[in-house]
A and B are shown apart, each in its own frame.
Chain A
Amino acid sequence: MATPETTIGSTRRTEGLIRLAGVSKAFGDRLVMAGLDLTIGEGEFVCVVGPSGGGKSTLLNMISGLDEATTGVVSFRGRAVSGLNNEVGYITQRDLLLPWRTAANNIRLPLELRGWSRTAMAERVREILAMTGLDHAADSYPYELSGGMRKRVSIGRVLAYSPSVLLMDEPFASLDAQLRLQMHEELLRMWQDSRVTSVVFVTHDLVEAITLADRVVVIAGQPGRVDLELPIEIDRPRRVVDVQSHPRYADYFQRLWSALGHDQPTGGAQ
């Protein structure tokens, strides 16, 4: 993934792991999304930004099978999603750990549910603990862990079963700025190590979106539709702290900023 020819979103997109075609979603009388088209490639990192109420979380729910499209088709590997999609790993703003399980046993949970053997589980949990830097916290309960460590457990828990796509709904919104930078660095590292996992990452934070994504998708309007798709052509592996000084960063920020209905770029773009 660090090789130059695969760093650009558009080349990955052609494979089309996830495809939404003419998707609308209504809750009762309220139409939150209308005629949305979007394709997400194998191994691609896509950030979705846009105002609240535009159906960004609904998009993730439809890919996972938790919600159904009212009209249109959501397909995964060429097949329409019906019922729960067990190839996804879903990470929300809250860490949603089981408080009665240690860090190691929280990571073990999906493996138990998928019927792994005891020895395979033990080995995989060890790997994940090492990858997430949690070896020393394996036997700690969630109440004994800091917010950042809990977040690592919840990401490790999902990566443990190697899902084809990670769905992340503002996962770092509740963390302080410094910890968020650190989590960005770690997420990119883990994603690059896993090689094949696609990521659909919903956020309000344009800096976060540009830092992480191969492509940023703006969903705007009421009901929401894709307003802009912006490939982020910054080489990987990226150093999170360097992204904002990249020559193209200001341009990306400005284009996203105006796509969201703002005329003037603010200080954040410099």
Chain B
Amino acid sequence: MTSTSEMPAEAAEARLSSPQESRRRAGGDGRGALATALIRLAILAGILVVWQVVGDLTTFGRWVSDPLSVAARVGDWARSGLLWEGTRVTLSTTLLGFALGTVVGGLAGVLLGVTRRLGALLEPFILALYSIPKIALAPLFLLWFGIGQLPKIMLAAMLVGFLIFFNVYQGTKTIDGQLIAIVRLMGAGRVAVIRKVALPYLSAWLFAGLKMGLPYALIGAVVGEFMASTAGLGYMVKNASSMFDTDGVFAGLIVLMTISTVLFLLLTAAEKRVLHWAGRGI
């Protein structure tokens, strides 16, 4: 009915789960928001205390490490430069894979979506490919692309690419036919319809895909590093675990979690800027 109904459901859902929305739901403005923040801090503190106690006082401790030891390890890594080196390798793999997957998946989605016949023709093959547990392709990628950074980038790109592709492709199927007809009557040719209607419209679907794909880029990079590598946070985690060094494992996980969260916040901020026209009504 209204123009906002042209937003994809997935994108709308992705927006619903955005921080500002959950903040509104959890507490609202002013005092409510402050209370929410304090409660969350208390929960975090509680988790850290319980973790510390379990780590210090039980025999279980050596398997779960504890916050102080983890913090100390992250500090050691920071001083030795290991932290920055590992982050640089994993982050660059993640971002390159994310970018490559977005470009290839996005272009394929638009191409197959706009040329309906081609899309319909290839759909079963794409679904068959998609049904492969893609992580299982990692060994193959090592054979194809060597053991450097390239196979990890490709693994991340593939995981991301499929998600972006499906979102954008699905988006092209939901473009309003009546809208296209009206814009063509206003004088738009095929190229103008794509440029002025399809691409801006698909930006909402692209962002839904980006938000879903981001964690997968990190998964691709880390799994690639598990398999065969001599650098990166995935390598550091795997290395630590093979030496029963749980401090190192948890330190690596915390750093990965931080990277993932920061990237997600950046992406959400970018989405808010780009899709500002979608309003708050969705």
Show the binding face of A for B, using Cβ within 8 Å: 64-66, 84-86, 88-90, 92, 94-101, 109-110, 112-114, 141-144, 147, 150, 157-158, 161, 174
Give bound CA distance, A147 to B2, whole Å: 8
- Asked if B186 contacts A143 (CB within 8 A), the reply is no
Residues of A near B277 (CB, < 8 A) are: 99-101, 141-143
Contacts of A97 in B (CB 8 A): 3
A98 to B6, CA, bound (A): 9
- Cα distance A39–B225 in the bound complex, in angstroms: 74
0 or 1 for each of B243-271: is its CB under 8 Å from A? (1 = yes): 00000000000000000000000000000
Asked whether, in the complex, the Cβ of A109 is within 8 Å of the Cβ of B186, the reply is: yes
User: Could you tell me if B187 and A143 are in contact, using CB atoms closer than 8 angstroms?
Assistant: no
Using CB atoms and an 8 Å cutoff, list the residues of chain B in contact with chain A: 1-4, 6-7, 176, 178-179, 181-188, 192, 196-197, 200-201, 203, 276-281
Interface residue from B3, B7, B187, B197 paired with A110 (Cβ < 8 Å): B187
Q: Which residues of chain B come closer than 8 Å to A95, judged between CB atoms?
A: 2-3
28 A/B residue pairs, CB under 8 Å, sorted by A: A84-B185, A86-B185, A90-B182, A90-B185, A92-B182, A94-B178, A95-B2, A95-B3, A96-B3, A96-B179, A98-B196, A98-B200, A99-B3, A99-B4, A99-B277, A101-B277, A112-B196, A113-B187, A113-B188, A113-B196, A114-B187, A143-B4, A143-B278, A147-B2, A150-B2, A157-B186, A161-B186, A161-B187
B176-A96 in contact (CB<8A): yes
Decide if the interface of chain B is mainly helix, strand, loop or mixed.
Answer: helix
What chain A residues lie within 8 Å of B7 (beta carbons)? 99
Chain B residues near A89: list those with CB within 8 A: 185-186
In the A-B complex, the 6 residue pairs with the closest CB atoms: A143-B279, A110-B186, A113-B187, A142-B3, A99-B3, A100-B277
Q: In the complex, which residues of chain A have a beta carbon less than 8 angstroms from the beta carbon of B201?
A: 100
Decide if A88 touches B185 in the complex (CB within 8 Å).
yes
Determine the chain A residues whose CB is within 8 A of the CB of B183 once the complex forms. 109, 113
**How far is it, in angstroms, between the C-alpha of A250 and the C-alpha of B6 when the chains are bound?**
42
| A99, B4: Cα distance in complex, Å | 7
Cβ 8 A contact of B279, one of A65, A112, A144: A144
Is the CB–CB distance between A64 and B186 below 8 Å?
no
Taking the closest CB of chain A, its distance from the CB of B248, in whole angstroms, is 48
Residues in A with CB closer than 8 Å to B281 are 143
CB distance from A164 to the nearest CB of B (A): 13
In Å, the complex CA distance between A174 and B1 comes to: 9
Name the residue of chain B whose CB is nearest to the CB of A112. B196
Contacts of A114 in B (CB 8 A): 186-187
With beta carbons under 8 angstroms apart, the residue of B176, B181, B279 that contacts A141 is B279
Chain B CB within 10 Å, residue with most, of A97, A98, A99: A99
Give the chain B neighbours of A86 by CB distance below 8 A.
Answer: 185-187
Partner of A85, one of B4, B6, B182, B185: B185
Chain B neighbourhood of A90, CB < 8 A: 181-182, 185
Cα distance A157–B187 in the bound complex, in angstroms? 13
Please determine whether B178 and A109 come into contact, CB atoms closer than 8 angstroms. no
CA separation between A161 and B3, bound complex, in Å? 22
Q: Could you say which of A95, A98, A101, A147 has the most chain B C-beta atoms within 10 Å of its C-beta?
A: A98
Measured CB to CB, the nearest residue on chain B to A101 is B277
User: Which residues does chain B contribute within 8 Å of A174, judged by CB atoms?
Assistant: 1
Chain A residue at minimum C-beta to C-beta distance from B179: A96
Closest to A141 in B: B277
User: Do the beta carbons of A109 and B196 come within 8 Å of each other?
Assistant: yes
Interface centre among B3, B6, B192, by most chain A C-beta atoms within 10 angstroms, is B3
In the complex, what residue of chain A is closest to B185 when comparing beta carbons? Answer: A90
The complex places the Cα of A94 from the Cα of B3 at a distance, in Å, of 8
Of the listed residues B4, B188, B201, B276, the one surrounded by the most CB atoms of chain A closer than 10 A to its CB is B188
User: Distance (Å) between the CB of A48 and the closest chain B CB?
Assistant: 19
Which residues does chain A contribute within 8 Å of B192, judged by CB atoms?
113
- Min CB–CB distance B181 → chain A (angstroms): 6
Cα–Cα distance between A89 and B6 once the two chains are bound (Å): 22
Q: How far is the CB of A15 from chain B (nearest CB, A)?
A: 23
Q: Who on chain B is nearest to A106 by CB? A: B3
B197–A98 CB distance below 8 A: yes
Residue contact A99 to B6, C-beta cutoff 8 Å: yes
CA distance A49 to B124 in the complex (A): 46
* B195 → A minimal CB distance (Å): 10
Chain A residues, Cβ within 8 Å of B179? 96
